[in-house]
Structure 1
Amino acid sequence: MSSKLRLVIFDVDGTLVDSQGDILAAMGEAFDAVDLPRPSRATVLGIVGLSLEVAMARLAPEADHARMVQAYKDAYMTLRAKTGAAQSSPLYPGARETLERLQSERDVLLGVATGKSKRGLDKLIEAHALENVFVTRQVADFHPSKPHPSMIYQAMLEAGVEPQDTVMIGDTSFDMEMAAAAGVSGFGVSWGYHPVSALSAAQLVLDEFSALEGALQTWWRASA
């Protein structure tokens, strides 16, 4: 693309992998743990991307959030152990090929910024054999929940890349709002958990992974 280093940061759930089955089931167990009715699929998917504590507070303001978070984590781990992370959270079509092509670009660095825990992200990356793909991994353990820009700030610091050379890729309003708060470009994706109408803060919205490389080239060329 150019001799200038660029950074592409990916959200995980709903962007790189489709983990909604386990998310919905684990959230159901979390609500069962505090004797509350299980929320609808749309309600649960609407909070994907937030850190668990923040998500529980939104979904059940008066409940025991610590108990819900632990029940969610226990259920998620059990579900993942039954089938394996690669099967329970498969990569979206074209994700691996796009990551490999972008990684081969000498001036492009890749990272992730996710509401997952470090343990959960590490397990997922290992399951998909992506250990050497991302130069920076930002997780919920060490940052405020999205859309706070802390994850992007740290990713740019670790990669040594400036805001104008950074793009955040995500499927939720939280990802796009985080990008805007950090002063970086945000590309939404239409295959994830939030409707396209919620991605109003995005510079553009992609309908398939194969369109990402061309969109990045066009965007960076225009901003050069």
Structure 2
Amino acid sequence: MTRPLAVFDIDGTLVDSRASIHRAAVEAARDMGLPEPEYDRVRMIVGLSLHKALHTLEPQLTDAELADFVAGFQRSFRRMYEAGHEEPLYDGAMDHLRRLHRDGWRLALATGQNRRGVARNLARQGWGEIFLSSHCAEDGPGKPDPAMLHAAMAACGADAASTVMIGDTAHDAAMAVNAGVLPLGVGWGFHTAEEQIAGGARHVAKSFGELNVVLDGFARAAA
């Protein structure tokens, strides 16, 4: 029996980082003397590598200014973490991961975070034992390039037919399409269901319970 592989995004899919990401973008913009970006602009860039995301947010910046903007965003996050901040998991996320792990799924991460952010998340209770591999924008091309998914499949011994990508943005869906794996979305993160479907998502779940049902069907078909 083929053991399916579920590759998860982090921000907006498992972890509710909406407030902290917007805060970091606002503080970095303020430090640069830029207009404070509204949440609706910031949410559209989440999932991309940080450099690409902030360039998309403020495309007029020179390379040096963009580097300062990136550094300011990272400083804001460091201040939050040094003050004891930790983004919460979405309700039901950990139960969902444990359930998949118990049922024999292989699990991996593919995120626009840097390696330091991935390490912080892998330090969460149980994550180090559940996820077989983790892949981030620092490892190579970021979303929507399929490189992270190709790396996850190679690390976990899976093929495209037995792999599903679960995220909350059109960038996640487009990466899955580019890798030839099933793109699934969740309806509680940064992009709307309509935006994710436009990016290629085949289904956008409204709850972890609904996601379980869809994944069960995928596992039966992949067996």
Q: What is the TM-score of this pair, normalised by structure 1?
A: 0.93
Shift of 1:156: 0.2
Cα distance in 2 for residues equivalent to 1:65 and 1:14 = 24
Q: Alignment partner for residue 117 of structure 1, among 106, 114, 119?
A: 114
For residue 216 of structure 2, what is the aligned residue in structure 1? 217
Structure 2: segments with no counterpart, 5+ residues? none
SS at match of 1:39: coil
Once the two structures are superposed, the pairs formed by residues 182-193 of structure 1 within 5 Å of their partners are 182-193=179-190
Name the CA distance, whole Å, in 2 between partners of 1:117 and 1:50: 11
Opposite residue 131 of structure 1, the aligned amino acid is G
Shift of 1:6: 1.1
Is 1:33–1:67's contact at 8 Å kept on the other side of the alignment? no
Deviation per CA, 1:141-185: give whole Å up to 9, x if none. Answer: 112121110000000000010000000000000000000000000
Equivalent residues of 1:34, 1:68 under 8 A apart: yes
Instruction: Report 1:1-224 matches (<5 A).
Output: 3-63=1-61, 64-85=65-86, 89-106=87-104, 108-200=105-197, 201-222=200-221
CA distance, structure 2, for counterparts of residue 117 and residue 163 of structure 1: 25
Unaligned 5+ segments in structure 1 are none
* Aligned CA distance change for structure 1 residues 151 and 113 (closer, same or farther; 3 Å): same
* Corresponding residue SS for 2:165: strand
CA distance in 1, matches of 2:201, 2:117: 27
Kept in 1, the 8 Å contact 2:2–2:222? The answer is no
User: Is the 8 Å Cα contact of residues 133 and 155 (structure 2) preserved in structure 1?
Assistant: yes
- Most deviating of 72-81 and 153-162: 72-81
Once residues 195 and 110 of structure 2 are traced to their aligned partners in structure 1, the CA distance between those partners, rounded to angstroms, is: 19
Tell me the TM-score normalised to structure 2 length.
0.94
CA distance change for structure 1 residues 128 and 36 in 2, over 3 Å: closer, same or farther? Answer: farther
Q: Do 1:143 and 1:150's aligned partners in 2 also have CA atoms closer than 8 Å?
A: yes
C-alpha separation between the residues in 2 aligned to 1:105 and 1:196?
Answer: 28
Counterpart secondary structure, 1:47: coil
In the alignment of these two chains, the number of paired residues is 218
- The answer to whether the Cα contact below 8 Å between 2:4 and 2:222 also exists between their aligned partners in 1 is no
Offset at residue 127 of structure 1 (A): 3.5
Between the aligned residues of both structures, percent identity stands at 36
CA contact 1:166–1:184 (8 Å) conserved in 2: yes
Q: Distance in 2 between matches of 1:128 and 1:48?
A: 25
Q: 1 CA distance for matches of 2:80 and 2:162?
A: 38
